[in-house]
Amino acid sequence: MNEMSKIAILASGAGSNAERIMEHFGDSGLARVVLVASENAGAYALERARRLGVEAMAFSVAELRDGRLLAELLRRQVDFVVLAGFLKLVPQAMVEAFPRRMVNIHPALLPSYGGRGMFGLHVHEAVLAHGERQSGITIHYVNGAYDSGDVIFRATCPVLPSDTPDALAERVHALEHRHYPAVIEALLRGERSYEGAVLNI
């Protein structure tokens, strides 16, 4: 039997996805979240990690860019990196250290409504401003640019005429919580499909 995979999560903010992922793998024989790291020392994601007994680490943007964060991941023998509301661009050396082993989730249907500045409520405001009738989530591999790595999985939800950005965000968040931990598990298992959809593995 292979050793358990070690997952690190990078999160800049609230960390509700990070929490779901920590819980999902809490008693798994497959993988364990060994680290939650943030460039924002006040991120609630770090507090959630501490509460769940997972190591929480703050780092500076300089440490992200000059390779010290990567060294910390390698020192802990991390196999898989999950971005969950991480707002900084991942440097190329880190992308190359985790080929097809670093994923992100975006709260819209990429390639639309992604890229620099498209985070948080900005995404949902833009979806509503364009009169879209459908939104959703995109889970994708991380490359050296925002929101543009190969897509692994998408799930959709309706956009209602009465939606505010907050209401749409809530519906999308529910989709994220349902699918992100399960898709990560499918990737770690090398499964080619999930809920009837073909995964790009």
Closest-CB residue for ligand GRF? 85
Binding mask of the shown chain, residues 171 to 190, with x at each position contacting ligand GRF by CB under 6 A: --x--x--------------
CB of 32 to ligand GRF, least distance (A): 19
Task: Residue 71: count other Cβ atoms within 10 Å of its Cβ.
Answer: 12
CA distance 76 to 140: 24
Determine the interface stretch with ligand GRF among 31-39, 103-111, 155-163, 185-193 (rule: CB under 6 A): 103-111
Has 122 been annotated as catalytic? no
Q: Tell me which residues in 1-20 interact with ligand GRF (CB under 6 A).
A: 11, 13-18
Site size toward ligand GRF (CB under 6 A) is 14
Please give the C-alpha separations between residue 58 and each of 10, 84, 152, 170, 185, in angstroms, as whole numbers: 10, 15, 29, 27, 26
**Contact positions with ligand GRF (CB under 6 A) in 34-93:** 84-85
DSSP string, 160-179: -TT--HHHHHHHHHHHHHHH
Which contiguous run of DSSP H or E holds residue 136?
strand 134-141
Residue 103's SS3 state is strand
Segment 122-161, which members bind ligand GRF (CB under 6 A)? none
Shortest gap between Cβ of 176 and ligand GRF (angstroms)? 5
User: How many degrees, rounded to 5, is the angle at CA 159 between CA 156 and CA 160?
Assistant: 145
Q: Segment contacting ligand GRF (CB under 6 A): 59-67, 105-113, 149-157, 189-197?
A: 105-113
Alpha helices in the chain (DSSP H): 16-24, 44-51, 61-65, 68-75, 92-97, 121-129, 165-189
Active-site choice (24, 106, 124, 179): 106
> Active-site residues: which are they?
106
Interacting residues with ligand GRF (CB under 6 A):
11, 13-18, 84-85, 105-107, 173, 176
